[in-house]
Amino acid sequence: MQQPWSKRHKREFKGCQFSLSNSFAQPLSMPELTKLTKDRGDNKLLELYNNHDLEYVPNGGSNDLRQDIASVVYDNKLSADNILVFPGGQVAIQTAALAFASNGVHSIVFTPGYQSTVESPEWAIGNAGVTQIPRHPDNNWQVDISKFKEAIRPNTKFVILNEPWNPGGILMSHHLQHEIIDICRAHNIVILCDEVYRLLEHNECDRLPAMANAYEKGISAVTMSKPWGACGVTIGWLACQDLSMVQRLVDAQYFGTACVSRASEIQARMVLGASDLILKERSEIILRNKAHLMSFVEKYSEFFSVNEPNAGAIAFVKFKLFPSHLLGEQLASNGISIKPYYCFAEVDDEACEAKQYPCEAYHFRVGFGELAFPSKLDALARYVDENADGWRRKLQKIDK
């Protein structure tokens, strides 16, 4: 198992005043959540929260929460039996890999990406290897379907997708999703799709069906932190049509964190009860902030570029002068936090020593889901203004 890719980030950017690293929607507060619950007259749920006991909840989550998830997120096309609850999304992804990437299975993943979506199949005992397929900005960071087909082996039985894609906030087309599902169906391949930014599409017409709804061997991984801003609730889940697959997940979950707190479950139900309103308000914040980000990139286009995101509260911005870890070091010393490329891919130390960086290494992730984003972006703009003349001279040397 590799070192956590974000470990270096936490060390280098510790204590920064202006964090552009956060990837969640504007966080909820408990008073806000209580008011939303009262306003819709759900006093029974508030009473349940204030008077619940502290017994263990069932492994994989209580029935009432699982039923709410099936109803709100999956339009009752799934039932409570198709949902397995976890303490957040991270352990859910890892559990799916343990269940389906072991015992001689070859897996396919895509990079750069969130570390668990890239490396978790390698952690499965007895796995038969993992093929990493790069995404590139020239293709708008999309899955290369021809390379995907080429990577499939007779024992390829597990694929991890991340749609909308982290770190870029890019969403594949409906056609591409259908094509990938058809290919996997023909080869009897399980698809785990990290969908933590689903429901935050910038245009609802772009929203893809949840993989758990779209494919009989599809698994959706979700967490409450991203769309709803309910980070502290620490509730995530896996959803799947096939009950035999659910049982395999249950068996794998048993050896990890099998149950969550009842308080978190009830808070999650409060969030889901107000889902439409919460998502509307968070989406409005995201779209306003995205406009600020795109204006920033346009104003400083000699230094920055970006493939415009169409989902979530994140963008993968390119700095044109030097790799993002070097920019990050400069920004950190000025109290500004970004997420450099090394947070989303294993860095080749020898290539770095030789200063042979891939083009992707010039990218860094920016999160724009919070109300405070404009003031944080202003801090970055001030830094750019202070260094613009020196950067221009460097660009002129590069051009020569």
Separation between Cα atoms, residue 286 and residue 117, nearest integer Å: 24
How many degrees, rounded to 5, is the angle at CA 324 between CA 320 and CA 326? 105
The pTM assigned to this predicted structure is 0.95
Indicate the burial class of 320 (C-beta count within 10 angstroms; 0-12, 13-18, 19 or more). Answer: middle
Which positions ≥6 away from 260 have C-beta within 8 Å? 57, 61, 85, 86, 87, 234, 235
Q: Residue type at 375? A: S
pLDDT in tens, the chain (400 residues): 578 888 889 999 999 999 999 999 999 999 999 999 999 999 999 999 999 999 999 999 999 999 999 999 999 999 999 999 999 999 999 999 999 999 999 999 999 999 999 999 999 999 999 999 999 999 999 999 999 999 999 999 999 999 999 999 999 999 999 999 999 999 999 999 999 999 999 999 999 999 999 999 999 999 999 999 999 999 999 999 999 999 999 999 988 877 899 999 999 999 999 999 999 999 999 999 999 999 999 999 999 999 999 999 999 999 999 999 999 999 999 999 999 999 999 876 555 554 667 788 999 999 999 999 999 999 999 999 999 999 998 888 776 5
How many degrees, rounded to 5, is the angle at CA 317 between CA 316 and CA 322? 125
Q: Tens digits of per-residue pLDDT, 87-110?
A: 999 999 999 999 999 999 999 999
Separation between Cα atoms, residue 329 and residue 339, nearest integer Å: 11
Separation between Cα atoms, residue 317 and residue 292, nearest integer Å: 14
DSSP β-bridge partners for residue 86: 236
**Quick one: which of 321, 297, 298 has its CA closest to 389?**
321
73 in Cβ contact with 268 (< 8 Å):
no
What's the Cα-to-Cα distance from 357 to each of 75, 302, 325, 361, rounded to whole Å?
45, 20, 11, 6
DSSP β-bridge partners for residue 111: 134
